[in-house]
Amino acid sequence: MTRKFIGFNIGSTSVGAIVYDYDRNEIVAKHKLPMVEVAASVGVTVTEEEGMVENGKGNFVIPGIVIAKGAEMIIDTLANDNSFANEEVLCGSNSFQGHLTAYLKQGVTQVLQNPDPTTPLHQQLASFFTCDCPTWMNSTTKEQTERLNDLATKAGLNVIKMAERYPGPQILQRVGITAYDDASTIMCGNALWAFLLTGVPSFSGPGDAAASGFVNLETLKLDKDAMKLIAPDLERKVAEVTPPGTIIGKVSPFFQRKGFVNMGMSTSDQDNIKSGAYAIFRPDILQVSLGTSYTAYIVSKKTIAGFEGNFASNDAEYPYLLLLCKNNGSGSISGVLSMHHYSAKAFDKVTRSLRRSQPGNEGRMALPWFKPEIIPYAPHAPGFVRNNYAKGFRADIRAAVEGNAASLLYAAREKFKDMVSITGVSFVGGAKQNPEIMKIWANMAGVDCYEMAMGEDAAAIGAALTAAADYLRNQPETSSLKLTDVVSRFVEKHKPTVTTPDRDIAEMYRTKFMPAYVAFEAAHAQQRR
């Protein structure tokens, strides 16, 4: 018998899981179910690209029965996998796409603790979700965001500076309507998944909890004064934050009958937190996720005053994860392809074009702002802004790749300069598979860049590694084990691919390209209020 741990990863487009054998130090199983198929199985139509339902302009939801059905389907898939013994699974943890908030009615806990084994779980829960949840994102909460930030600042509260996606503004907008008023329990998506499996209610792991706007950033516990800014009775609807290393509970009899008789669930969190648990394998690493949007983050022992990216990690040694998000990421590469009448997925053309063009692009630069930008702040999406050069695919695609790399790396170094001396950059996400893009990022960063093994599954791997660390730390013989010990052991065996910068090209980017790009970008960006 070997000890096994499951890392679940629930995003808007898929429900996935990996099984990690700790004693062999190997991933022994991997499954991923498209959210489109999960939703269709319960009669819900979601968009293929976003995997969600737009419930009113800018208000995106993943109906609760879809999440519950996803839990049933992935557990059934794992139970039928003969590559491991179900009873050897000791603990699981989940990564859940960030900031999704669920609102649940009275009585749901009793149902989940003693579900009817003869009725599908999603059917038993269908009536317990209030009308517009779980809500992933609602871009109509600007008024609530500004109000809460203003009130929290005036009150001197040590909470995150909120953005529209965060739970606080989302909840405030629903106060006084059915979604809030009929809910007895409000929780983040990561807690919802653990709740479905165990029947034990919680609010969130520390990462998404820190983003709520009503969690104190020093204690990482609920701030009652901040909660009262949203609603006087919010405290009654929200459970306490789940600290790192917590075993939430054992899976319910509904799932034990599938063979997972020894499985518990530990601290779960949003996807960036779990991805970081794996990819930030040293505290001097900057992690960059090259997805549709680009994110850059570090772990830290302190926060940055007034920063929207003050999240928390799942590591008690480095309790904070500080995050920057660039909205126009790989989507801007697709935007350039479409702009030149190619398929938005014709990434082979990107590779060939980058090979045939020169670093620095002969001074040609562009702002690939196909949609409103966060880093830097450009809320009106002016499109592809060139610095007065003639339109051409080869120049445009290099301008987009170099521009995104310069923009995010500069922002990260400026924002995090007092937190860490960055000696390496680790990468996850689809674009990391393009060696030409990786060369540009390595040269722009001027330090070794690490393409994480199995990086496309970084969040699920991070969830599995934290599940292993959480379980082992709760055993007397391994109580001194740290998360970093578990991660380092895994990375030592599953080594990243290293891209080393070219000294001359890196120097050109540092001394010539970067200053010029930053000035060009600043001339078109806006100051935040």
Is the Cα torsion angle 78, 80, 84, 89 positive or negative in sign? positive
Distance CA 433, CA 351 (A): 11
The DSSP 8-state label assigned to residue 289 in this structure reads E
Residues 259 and 387 in one domain: no
Nearest to 509 by CA among 414, 431, 402, 437: 402
pLDDT in tens, the chain (529 residues): 899 999 999 988 899 999 999 999 999 999 999 999 999 999 998 876 667 787 777 777 888 999 999 999 999 999 999 999 999 999 999 999 878 899 999 999 999 999 999 999 999 999 999 977 777 777 889 999 999 999 999 999 999 999 888 999 999 999 999 999 999 999 999 999 999 999 999 999 999 999 999 999 999 999 999 999 999 999 999 999 999 999 999 999 999 999 999 999 999 999 999 999 999 999 999 999 998 899 999 999 999 998 999 999 999 999 999 999 999 999 999 999 999 999 998 999 999 999 999 999 999 999 999 999 999 999 899 999 999 999 999 999 999 999 999 999 999 999 999 999 999 999 998 766 788 999 999 999 999 999 999 999 999 999 999 999 999 999 999 999 999 999 999 999 999 999 999 999 999 999 999 999 999 999 999 876 5
Which of these three, 212, 239, 267, is where a domain ends? Answer: 267
Helix 271-279 × helix 483-493 angle, to 10°: 60
Q: Which of left, alpha, beta for 245 (phi over 0: left; psi -120 to 50: alpha)? A: left
Distance CA 17, CA 459 (A): 10
With respect to residue 472, please indicate whether it lies within any of the assigned structural domains.
no
Residues 249 and 288 in one domain: no
Q: E strand or H helix at 132, and its extent? A: none
Nearest to 218 by CA among 158, 259, 299: 158
With respect to residue 470, please indicate whether it lies within any of the assigned structural domains.
no
Residues 312 and 251 in one domain: no
pTM: 0.93
Distance CA 180, CA 174 (A): 5
With respect to residue 461, please indicate whether it lies within any of the assigned structural domains.
no
Distance CA 508, CA 494 (A): 33
Residues 164 and 96 in one domain: yes
Helix 142-154 × helix 167-174 angle, to 10°: 110
Residues 434 and 518 in one domain: yes
Beta strands in 57-184 (DSSP E): 59-61, 89-96, 101-104, 135-138
Residues belonging to the chain: 529
With respect to residue 483, please indicate whether it lies within any of the assigned structural domains.
no
With respect to residue 209, please indicate whether it lies within any of the assigned structural domains.
yes
The domain that holds 106 is classified in CATH as 3.30.420.40
62 by Cβ neighbours in 10 Å (0-12 / 13-18 / 19+) ranks as: buried
Specify the long-range contacts of residues 386-394, CB closer than 8 Å, at least 24 apart. 387/363, 387/520, 389/363, 389/364, 393/336, 393/340, 393/342, 393/349, 393/353, 394/353, 394/356, 394/357
pLDDT in tens, 15-64: 999 999 999 999 999 999 999 999 999 999 887 666 778 777 777 788 89
pLDDT of residue 260: 98
For 36-58, b/e burial (b = at least 16 CB within 10 A) is bebbebbebebeeebbbbeeeee
Distance CA 193, CA 190 (A): 5
pLDDT in tens, 319-332: 999 999 999 999 99
Q: Which residues pair with 27 in a beta bridge?
A: 20
With respect to residue 511, please indicate whether it lies within any of the assigned structural domains.
yes
Range of the domain at 258: 4-267
- Say if residues 357 and 524 touch (Cβ distance below 8 Å): no
- Say if residues 488 and 279 touch (Cβ distance below 8 Å): no
Q: Which residues pair with 185 in a beta bridge?
A: 104
* Radius of gyration of the chain from its Cα atoms, rounded to whole angstroms: 23
The DSSP 8-state label assigned to residue 373 in this structure reads B
Residues 144 and 180 in one domain: yes
Give the list of residues 6+ apart from residue 221 with CB closer than 8 angstroms, or none. Answer: 215, 240, 241
Give the list of residues 6+ apart from residue 300 with CB closer than 8 angstroms, or none. Answer: 318, 320, 321, 322, 416, 419, 420
- Say if residues 447 and 424 touch (Cβ distance below 8 Å): yes
Tell me the two tokens of residue 197. Answer: 């499996």
Tell me the two tokens of residue 83. Answer: 């590559």
Helix (H, G, I), strand (E, B) or coil at 326: strand
Distance CA 80, CA 35 (A): 20
Residues 246 and 204 in one domain: yes
Which of these three, 221, 239, 267, is where a domain ends? Answer: 267
Tell how strand 294-300 and strand 285-290 pair up. antiparallel
Residues 222 and 336 in one domain: no
- Say if residues 121 and 198 touch (Cβ distance below 8 Å): no
Residues 321 and 225 in one domain: no
Which of these three, 267, 297, 324, is where a domain ends? Answer: 267
When divided into structural domains, the chain yields a total of 2
Distance CA 85, CA 141 (A): 47
Peptide bond just before 134 cis, omega within 30 deg: yes
